[in-house]
Structure 1
Amino acid sequence: MINGEKNVKNPIRWAMVGGGRGSQIGYIHRSASLRDHNFQLVAGAFDIDPERGKDFGVNLHVDPERCYPDYKTMFAEEAKRVDGIQAVSIATPNGTHYEICKAALNAGLHVICEKPLCFTTEGAKELETLAKKMNRVVGVTYGYSGHQAVEQARQMIANGELGEIRIVNMQFAHGFHSEAVEEKNASTKWRVDPKMAGPSYVLGDLGTHPLYLSEVMLPHMKIKRLMCTRQSFVKSRAPLEDNAYTIMEYDNGAIGTVWSSCVNAGSMHGQKIRVIGSKASIDWWDEQPNQLRYEVQGKPVQILERGMDYLYPEALKDDRIGGGHPEGLFEAWSNLYTRFAQAMEAADRGEAFDRWYPGIEAGVAGVRWVENCVRSADNGAVWIEYQ
């Protein structure tokens, strides 16, 4: 049970790059980090417009002198302070992640970064090497993985309750971009610009989320080869896709699918994962995150509820309130931010951290998957060996 008592000896002095006024993702970063007293927001380069960023930071109770015009200035000035920042979250458009993350690591800072880390596996591996060299934590905000039902699924699979895993069906398919909303929405416009979004739209923006859920639930399974087809139904988005299907073969003989889409008209969110074994199946939908559907062949369906004593201890560890009370995305992010803080403190002590969290390896894996999907799709939706 999490009740707000100490998870780390002292709150980590923390800053943000991006996430300023009007940023949905910036608000959830701040809410998640500050909830359990694991971090203290002391500085920021919140906006590409320095004055607007400073005004925003002051309204967050940040010292005006520590509201910086850009991340380079912030890293340099904070390094001069005895009480300088120890960690930074990056909540900027995709095309800037690599350079900011690299600069933060070189400045000796821990990093929490929006995905993708960068646009190429080569670049992601470079960041991984640098993070290990500097002994710094890089957390990647696959926020949905912080839901407790995901941990319950992981434990059930590990304990053989599903039997041999045969099929993994994944999707993140909403409908909010079924028209060219980017024409009037700046926060969507950059997502369909290859210069800022990279080599994909929905594969990287959406598909990597359920893919990471599968990696948490099924850490023993590795992709052997895949085939991907992608479409731009809103033609102005080409060459970036707004819909894609990926089929994967795993090294244990199982098969997986990922439907990534923003043109699933009428769907609110549409992120689901279903894992099918030889004995039973589990099904999780992020619009009903407190429930895990458990289906044993020949028996009635069971709905496993968050917070109940029949769950595995690992799935109860992050409870904030008893079963029956709904927990949501903010709690899931807070669970991950707690782990990020604990991992950072452990790294500073030169110790290992013994719980999983979406770290630099998860960031590399997401970039790698997108790169392979694009390679398959752009070569005529062919099967390719996973590289």
Structure 2
Amino acid sequence: MLNGEKKIARPLRWAMIGGGRLSNVGYKHRTGALRDNTAFQLVASAFDIDPERGKDFGVNLGVEESRCYPDYQTMIAEEAKREDGIEVVSIATPNGTHYAITKAALEAGLHVICEKPLFFTSEEVLEIKELAEKQGKIVGVTYGFSGNQMLLQMRAMIEQGKLGDIRVVDLQYTHGFNATDSAEKASDAQKWRVDPKVAGPSFVLGDLSTHTYYMSQLIMPKMKIKELLCDRQSFIPSRAPLEDNAFVMMRYENGAVGRLWTSSINAGCMDGHRIRIVGSKASLEWWDSKPGELKYEVQGEPVQTLIRAMPYLDESCNADERLGALHQEGLSESWANIYLKFAIAIDAKNRGDEKTLNNLVYPDINAGLDGVVWIENCVRSADNGSSWVEFSQANQKATV
């Protein structure tokens, strides 16, 4: 169980790029990083494209005014002059800026924690991965839902054979908040998400379902996709060519099949984020609205509901427990769990502790690469008439 005691020698000196007053995600980053005040310390910022608004916001958060910078280039340059300069940055800016900022931070000797999807192309990710390895730095990806510890329970039960052979993977991440175009009209944060120049080659496939795809890979690390078919739609015509709804069918190398529905036009839906794994013996189902519960259905037996923090759960699951079984946890604790693991990974990398790095389950640059490759395959399928395509890995020639 986690109780806030330090897991690393001292808090890492941390800065945010983006994530300011008008951001949809900035507060999630800060609550995650600062939940355990033994892991990160917010000491500098380049919060906003508007320098004065960013400075005002940073000061209101307790950052020294002199360390509230007008842009990330100035921040990186000025912090490099300080003995107590920053060691790690979080990037919470629009997708199209991720690559340039990540590259600049790594070249300056900083660790990076970046929003998803990581970059536009797998070639960009491979280039940054090589740079990160050369610099000896960590690149983490904020798949914020993946810190829900019941996902580790699913992983353990599948590894232990309690489901038998995996046959069906059923994934969904939908909501209805973009059922009309009013969101783009009211919010700059939504407007850029449907602009291909800023968002990249997808909207909901990248913005929503890369979360769920990564979570499925976390749960089933040995399950690899053989081929897939993607059908995507722009029900709000102004969003084309980016999709606000998509269906993905998947065939896995072990013979299992999968489907994923992702949508921001599921009118009336507040939280359609679910994962169901069906095996030859039993099934598991997790729903984001009840993150502390896991439905376990064994064929021919009564349905069981496994509850977070109970002693019958796997040790790997309970190791990330924070509040105890009587009290509800949720997205804030999930973010805190992945940020704590980012801190442990950074500390281990600094010390050359490869054993810790190899045993740590967290969304690293390889997870970011997997997400970008998955999007590339989905877009390729959809743009080829929603046809089945062989799942091509990074640097592998695509075939239709």
Per the TM superposition, whether the score is higher than 0.5 is: yes
| Paired amino acid for 1:366 | G
**For the residues of structure 2 that align with 1:104 and 1:356, how far apart are their CA atoms?**
24
1:272-298 deviation digits (Å, cap 9, x = unpaired) = 110000000000010110000000000
| C-alpha displacement of 1:320 | 1.1
Q: Secondary structure at the match of 2:276?
A: strand
**For the residues of structure 2 that align with 1:254 and 1:324, how far apart are their CA atoms?**
37
Match of 1:348 in 2: 350
**For the residues of structure 1 that align with 2:331 and 2:375, how far apart are their CA atoms?**
24
1:195-237 deviation digits (Å, cap 9, x = unpaired) = 1110000000111111111100100011111110100001111
| Paired amino acid for 2:304 | Q
Match of 1:161 in 2: 162
| C-alpha displacement of 1:266 | 1.0
Answer yes or no: is 1:281 the counterpart of 2:321. Answer: no
Match of 1:142 in 2: 143
Q: Secondary structure at the match of 1:161?
A: coil
Match of 1:118 in 2: 119
| C-alpha displacement of 1:24 | 3.1
Match of 2:212 in 1: 210
**For the residues of structure 2 that align with 1:196 and 1:312, how far apart are their CA atoms?**
42
Match of 1:130 in 2: 131
| C-alpha displacement of 1:155 | 0.3
Q: Conserved in 1, the CA contact under 8 Å of 2:250 and 2:257?
A: yes
Q: Secondary structure at the match of 2:251?
A: strand
Match of 1:365 in 2: 370
| Paired amino acid for 1:311 | L
| Paired amino acid for 2:201 | P
| C-alpha displacement of 1:127 | 1.1
Identity %: 60
**For the residues of structure 2 that align with 1:321 and 1:175, how far apart are their CA atoms?**
31
Match of 2:383 in 1: 378
**Runs of 4+ with deviation above 3 angstroms:** none
**For the residues of structure 1 that align with 2:158 and 2:132, how far apart are their CA atoms?**
31
Q: Secondary structure at the match of 2:7?
A: coil
| C-alpha displacement of 1:7 | 1.1
Q: Conserved in 1, the CA contact under 8 Å of 2:117 and 2:210?
A: no
Match of 1:331 in 2: 333
Q: Secondary structure at the match of 1:176?
A: coil
| C-alpha displacement of 1:186 | 1.4
1:292-344 deviation digits (Å, cap 9, x = unpaired) = 00000000100000010110011100111211310010001001111000000
Structure 1 residues 188-267: aligned runs within 5 Å: 188-267=190-269
**For the residues of structure 2 that align with 1:385 and 1:239, how far apart are their CA atoms?**
23
| C-alpha displacement of 1:22 | 2.4
- My pick for the range that moved more, 15-24 or 275-284, is 15-24
RMSD over aligned CA atoms reads 0.8
Answer yes or no: is 1:12 the counterpart of 2:12. Answer: yes
Any gaps of 5 or more consecutive residues in structure 1? none
Answer yes or no: is 1:321 the counterpart of 2:326. Answer: no
Any gaps of 5 or more consecutive residues in structure 2? 393-400
Match of 2:398 in 1: none
| Paired amino acid for 2:54 | G
Q: Secondary structure at the match of 2:25?
A: helix
Q: Conserved in 1, the CA contact under 8 Å of 2:24 and 2:189?
A: no
| C-alpha displacement of 1:171 | 0.8
Q: Conserved in 2, the CA contact under 8 Å of 1:171 and 1:270?
A: yes
Match of 1:47 in 2: 48
Q: Conserved in 2, the CA contact under 8 Å of 1:307 and 1:323?
A: yes
**For the residues of structure 1 that align with 2:377 and 2:244, how far apart are their CA atoms?**
17
Q: Secondary structure at the match of 1:289?
A: coil
Q: Secondary structure at the match of 2:386?
A: coil
Q: Conserved in 1, the CA contact under 8 Å of 2:145 and 2:331?
A: yes
| Paired amino acid for 1:360 | I
| Paired amino acid for 2:132 | A
TM-score of the superposed pair, with normalisation by structure 2: 0.96
| C-alpha displacement of 1:355 | 1.4
**For the residues of structure 1 that align with 2:185 and 2:146, how far apart are their CA atoms?**
32
Q: Conserved in 1, the CA contact under 8 Å of 2:228 and 2:251?
A: yes
